Chains A and B, each alone.
Chain A
Amino acid sequence: MQLTSDILEFCVLANLKKEDLYGYLLTQKVQEKVNISESTLYPVLRRLQKKGFLITYDKSFQGRNRRYYKITEEGIKELEDFIIKWNELKKKVESFLN
């Protein structure tokens, strides 16, 4: 079973709510829990950025810049709304399964 890109967006936002992350580390964190390919996240990050749910900033690292992704207030609100809807959906699905 594959995650839809919508749900993947919220997985990304949930990770960024804990801490700001750069592309590679963010991919590693998501890959620890769900099976995605190395390159899946870039379009997701781009989409979230366009929606105003995250912003980027550069930070120097060993003589080069790393681009960090940071969740915005709008992103946090969107994530909180999603969590409420997700819990409702989960209950409904579980009522069928149990």
Chain B
Amino acid sequence: MTRKEFMRNLDKKIMNLDYEVKMNTFKFFEEYFDDLNLNLDDDIPSNMNFDKIVEDILKEENFKYEENEEKGDKEKNYFYFNLGDFISKNIVEIKYESIKSIYIKDAVTSIIIKKGEENKIVIPERLEKNICYKNNNLKIKDISINLGKSIEIYYNTDELDIELLDIVGNIVIDIPKKTNICLKDIVGRLRFYKELTLSKLELNGVIGKINKDDVKFDNNLDRNISISSVVGSINFN
């Protein structure tokens, strides 16, 4: 198993633990692999038993760990509060006249924010209740979608502020022309693209590779990005 596979699988297995526990666990192993000088595609040490690690972590957190060998599906024995995504195809598109800001907090999901023809969000129907839209500000809190799935937000404006806090999942952002983007406490890969000339870029507490070779700076623009406490790679390309 490679480092990348280990972290991805760990993410799946402990997804329902408390946020702080998850962050600390990811941090421990990311740091451990860094100290072993392992790249993402390098194999982890042969005496690291992934199943045993997960079992010990879940036991320590009083989380039920059982294997269903008969069905060969261990994941079903975890408490997946987002099981609905497996059986439901009820994805809704909610359109808005205008979006001035996007705020998402406490989410276990991948998030895609990109320029489109309309202002809209594509999300499982059951999560509609977690969205608050007021005065052109879109707020979403406490959502969880199965790994591999994402929520998509499209904006049709040149000015848009984005704030994403406490997210476990990958994030892709098509950078708006005028924006203040603030990302904090993220476990996942971040990708920013298209408008890569920024007025300001702040990066603090990032555990992972940062590729910002394509970023240029122009103080006359109003395009600021602040990123802090991230476990995962960051790409601007």
- Residue numbers of A with Cβ under 8 A of B are 22-25, 27, 37-40, 42-43, 45-47, 64-67
Flag if B60 contacts A39 (CB, 8 Å).
no
Chain B contacts with A in 53-67, Cβ cutoff 8 A: 53, 56-57, 59-60
- Residue numbers of B with Cβ under 8 A of A are 21, 24-25, 27-29, 31-32, 34-36, 44-45, 47-49, 52-53, 56-57, 59-60, 205-207
Flag if B56 contacts A43 (CB, 8 Å).
yes
Flag if B31 contacts A22 (CB, 8 Å).
yes
Flag if A37 contacts B35 (CB, 8 Å).
no
Q: A64-B207, A65-B207 known; A42 and B49 CB under 8 Å?
A: no
Number of A-B contacts (CB under 8 A): 55
Q: Name 12 A/B residue pairs within 8 A (Cβ), A-sorted.
A: A23-B31, A25-B35, A37-B52, A39-B48, A39-B56, A43-B57, A45-B28, A46-B21, A46-B24, A46-B57, A64-B31, A67-B28
Cross-chain contact of B47 among A22, A37, A46, A47 (Cβ < 8 A): A37
How far apart are the CA atoms of A39 and B206 in the complex, in Å?
Answer: 23
- A47 surroundings in chain B (CB, below 8 A): 60
Cross-chain contact of B205 among A23, A46, A65 (Cβ < 8 A): A65
- B48 surroundings in chain A (CB, below 8 A): 37-39
**Complex A-B, nearest 9 residue pairs according to Cβ-Cβ distance, in ascending order:** A24-B35, A43-B56, A37-B47, A43-B60, A39-B53, A38-B48, A38-B45, A39-B48, A23-B32
Q: A39-B52, A43-B59 known; A67 and B27 CB under 8 Å?
A: yes
Cross-chain contact of B53 among A27, A42, A64, A65 (Cβ < 8 A): A42
- A64 surroundings in chain B (CB, below 8 A): 31, 34, 206-207
- B32 surroundings in chain A (CB, below 8 A): 23-24, 27, 38
Q: A38-B45, A38-B48 known; A22 and B35 CB under 8 Å?
A: yes
CB-based nearest A residue for B21: A46
How far apart are the CA atoms of A40 and B29 in the complex, in Å?
Answer: 12
CB-based nearest B residue for A40: B56
User: How distant is B163 from chain A, measured CB to nearest CB, in Å?
Assistant: 23
- A37 surroundings in chain B (CB, below 8 A): 47-49, 52
- A22 surroundings in chain B (CB, below 8 A): 31, 35
